[in-house]
Amino acid sequence: MNDERAVQQVLARYVRATDRRDGKAQGSLFSDDAVVQILAKAGQDMYEPVGEPLIGGAGVEYAVDHFMAPHPADGSSHHTTSDHLIEIDGDNAHLNAQFVVFEVRAGKRPADGWPTAGRRTARGRRGR
pTM score, whole prediction: 0.71
- Fold of the domain spanning 3-105: Nuclear Transport Factor 2; Chain: A, (3.10.450)
| pLDDT for 123 | 57
Q: Which residues pair with 101 in a beta bridge?
A: 79
**How far from each other are the two terminal CA atoms of the chain, in whole angstroms?**
47
Yes or no: say if 102 and 19 are a contact pair by the CB < 8 Å rule. Answer: no
**Model confidence over 46-83: pLDDT tens digits?**
999 999 999 999 999 999 999 888 888 888 999 999 99
The 8-class DSSP code of residue 92 comes to E
| pLDDT for 120 | 59
Q: Which residues pair with 39 in a beta bridge?
A: 49
For the chain, give every domain's residue range: 3-105
**Model confidence over 82-105: pLDDT tens digits?**
999 999 999 888 899 998 999 988
| pLDDT for 91 | 87
Q: Which residues contact 101 (CB under 8 A, 6 or more apart)?
A: 77, 78, 79, 80
| pLDDT for 125 | 55
One-letter amino acid at 120 equals R
The 8-class DSSP code of residue 10 comes to H
Query: Which DSSP string do the residues of 13-75 spell out, in sequence order?
Result: HHHHHHHHT-HHHHHTTS-TT-EE--EEEEETTEEEE-SSPEEHHHHHHHHHHHHSPPPPTTE
